[in-house]
Structure 1
Amino acid sequence: MPFKKILMVLSLCLIVGLAACSGSSTKEKIYDHLEKAVTLEDAFEKQQDTIVDLEKKEQELYGKIIDLGMDDFDKIKDLSQQAIETIEKRSNKVDVEKESITASKEEFMKIEDLIDELEDKDIKDKAKKMYDVMMKRYQAYDSLNKAYTTSLKLEKELYTMLQKEDIEQEALTEHITKINDSYQEVLEANKAFNTHTTKYNKLKQEFYKAADIEVEYEDGKSADKKNSNKNQ
């Protein structure tokens, strides 16, 4: 099954100025927490390229394995063990990714009480809507992480099975079906995560505009990172 994971990241703003008005200090605090939450996701973004490389390496190993016959069983065992090692490295990277998102969430949630301090109803409403969407984004990531971790576990089990000389083809086929089903869940969770990321970035811009927070966007647009997994 062709697998493609695209993880969108948050847009980073650089503050230019904050209009003087009632509640400015509260707005400044909210801005600081929002942008620190973005910065805390740097580690999340940085893992993507390495994960891509590890997925490509595993894909190459899988391709070599399925081209071999049982006469080359020792080679199959060796390649399968190499694949397991790449999965373990990917798992470690995903753990770092999750730690980054968790830190971002903890920082972001600090704005909840500050939102209640905002006096302007329109600004407060925009802030609440932005907050709700971001929390849905974090929930979507949790689902994505859980689905992806499950897929890694199933892949590791597959390569363990391939190291058994008496493994039946039917058992392998059934297990590969489980992997493909698992990655379908990854794709669905990933779509939800990206949808909430795009919506949040837009709502944050609207909040800054309503709050008279003048900002410049470092990259202009949120960046995309693409991961691709092997065909099974």
Structure 2
Amino acid sequence: MMIGLIAAGVLTLSGCSMGASIEKQLSDTLIKMNDSEAEYEKNQTTLSDLEKTEQKLFGETMELTKEDVDELSKNVQELTTSTQDRLKHLESEEASMDEAKKYINQLNKTADDAGEEIKEKILELSTAATERYDLHASFTEQYRKLTSIQQEFYELLEKKDVELATLQSKADEINEQNTVVQSTIEQFNAKTKEVNNLKDALFSSLEADE
């Protein structure tokens, strides 16, 4: 039920010449975007670790019997705390990506100073980068929804007379929402590859013009 975020490469600039003014502007902007995403990368790793630990605890909890009341209550509390911790890291990741997105405006300003061919490539990169950040925003929305359903499931585990059908229904909701989250992650990673390919092609064009 838990998801593991696929680590997506962020914008890098190794091997780029810094000679031309346009190239320097682009390099500076992309470096700032990359730096802004540092917290996003850090929180991805932490989220993945929390998810693995929570999944292990969840498996242990599901093996308890009705007689293990104290242990069940303790585990449910730990599971709930874990979901809250994940949301805190998600908020930090979201803030990091929002900060990075602000540099899209600088890309567009650089495009205004470039020749038509390079301008077109910069704007194409800008559009793809914007779509990437929008996909991350969609991911955070869907992830929050997933976490909320998981919390509801954990709360049901402590109810004395909860029916198996009720638990199964909630588990189905989790699986359905997890599918949505995974789909968004796949789209985000595909868009990240597209952004990096466009960035590489742009700098290759700038180097060829020197």
**Normalising by structure 2, what TM-score?**
0.92
Matches within 5 A, 1:31-110: 31-110=27-106
1:9–1:45 contact (8 Å) kept in structure 2: no
Matches within 5 A, 1:56-205: 56-119=52-115, 121-205=116-200
Mark the CA change 1:125 to 1:140 in structure 2 (over 3 Å): closer, same or farther.
Answer: same
Distance 1:166 1:127 in 2: 61
1:42 corresponds to which letter in structure 2?
A
Partner of 2:7: 7
Distance 2:105 2:117 in 1: 20
Distance 2:134 2:45 in 1: 23
Larger displacement relative to structure 2 (2-11 or 202-211): 2-11
Larger proportion of strand: 1
1:33–1:111 contact (8 Å) kept in structure 2: yes
Q: In structure 1, list runs of 5 or more residues that go unmatched.
A: 214-232
Larger displacement relative to structure 2 (46-55 or 178-187): 46-55
Larger proportion of helix: 2
**By how many angstroms is 1:158 displaced?**
1.1
Bigger RCO (CA 8 Å, 6+ sep)? 1
1:40–1:101 contact (8 Å) kept in structure 2: yes
Distance 2:16 2:150 in 1: 48
Of 24, 30, 41, 2:26 maps to 30
1:12–1:35 contact (8 Å) kept in structure 2: yes
1:73–1:165 contact (8 Å) kept in structure 2: no
**By how many angstroms is 1:159 displaced?**
0.9
Report how many residues are paired.
208
Structure 2 counterpart SS, 1:5? coil
Instruction: Give the 4+ runs in structure 1 shifted more than 6 A.
Output: none
1:5 corresponds to which letter in structure 2?
L
Structure 2 counterpart SS, 1:11? coil
Aligned-residue sequence identity (percent) comes to 25
2:150 corresponds to which letter in structure 1?
E
